[in-house]
Amino acid sequence: MRVAAAAVCHSTLAVAALVAGGCTGGASMPNPFGQSARVAPPATSTVTAGAAPAGAGHLAAGPTGDDPARRRLAALDEDNQQLDKLLAQSRQESEVWKKQVTELRGRLDDSAAQLSRLNEEKLASERKVQSLQASSQVAGGAFKPNNSLRRELEPIQLQGVEVRVDGDVVRVELPADKLFSPGTAQLNAEGRSLLQRVAAQLVRSYRDQRIGVEGHTSRSDAGPGGNWAGYHDLSVARAAAVLSHLNIAVRMPAGQLFVAGHGANLPVMSNGTPAGRRRNDRVELVVYPDTYTR
């Protein structure tokens, strides 16, 4: 019994010694069984300063240039830049269209105002023509040559004036450029003087005959401008100006005279030459065989 107890005690001391040796860094200690034993120190891992722990490189790695998300982001950015350019271009084009619309509206307003003025001038011209036509009315209707009362009209001679017999009537041609300022129905000084000479001869030769004052032009296209909507209106206005002068300045009876405007409907020459156009721009004093009552 004593021997067994001693053996146990000795084994306990040996274990304690082994534990103590391990704590002293692996120093040798006597082995109670007669052999020396060295306890190896526990393995330690050495970490070099500045070195990343194992596996750290894999955790820290981010997306690379081949990452689909990054490629998609770059594509969206490029699309946004293109859209910005298109938007800027659309805004510029919109400003251009706005400017053009404003200009067109201005032109439309100007055209509407011009059309309104032309309509007013047309109405004024129509009223003027109606008034002038009323002056050519005689009892029983508009004047027409009455061949039953016809007599042979004697031709007359007027220096510088074309006079010709045309069937039953005698026509005295007065060039428009000698009567009026260009493009107007305003008698000039030369025209008034010419009318004085012609009227004196008419009074001597055709005192009792009806005399038509007929205006003619060489053109029938767009209106001549001014107060005239067309060349017919201008021809009527010129005839009326001559009639007024004969009635007021020369004192030929108003009942003896009437006016008509033919525009370019009755040319005496071709309008293809300047001489022809000058000849066609005229006022004719047409002496009819019919007589009138004073």
pLDDT higher than threshold 70 for residue 209: yes
- pLDDT digit string (tens) for 273-289? 999 999 999 999 999 99
Strand order in the sheet with 162-166: 162-166, 169-175, 282-291, 209-216, 257-261
Q: Give the single-character DSSP code of 87.
A: H
Residue with tokens 């706005």, as numbered in its chain? 98
Residue with tokens 């005229």, as numbered in its chain? 282
CB atoms within 10 A of CB 192: 13
Q: What is the band of 256 on the pLDDT scale with cuts at 50, 70, 90?
A: very high
pLDDT higher than threshold 80 for residue 94: yes
140 vs 197, more confident: 197
163's enclosing H/E stretch is strand 162-166
Give the whole-angstrom CA distance, residue 148 versus residue 291: 11
Q: What is the band of 44 on the pLDDT scale with cuts at 50, 70, 90?
A: very low
pLDDT (mean) for 121-140: 54
pLDDT higher than threshold 60 for residue 175: yes
How confident is the model at residue 138, as a pLDDT? 40
Bridging pattern class, strands 141-142 and 137-138: antiparallel
78 vs 45, more confident: 78
How confident is the model at residue 286, as a pLDDT? 95
Contact at 8 Å (CB) between 195 and 284?
no
What fold, for 137-291? 60s Ribosomal Protein L30; Chain: A; (3.30.1330)
Q: Is 3 exposed, middle or buried (0-12, 13-18, 19+ CB in 10 A)?
A: exposed
Terminal C-alpha separation, the chain: 193
94 vs 47, more confident: 94
How confident is the model at residue 66, as a pLDDT? 63
Q: What are phi and psi of 168, to 5 degrees?
A: -90, -5
pLDDT (mean) for 247-252: 92
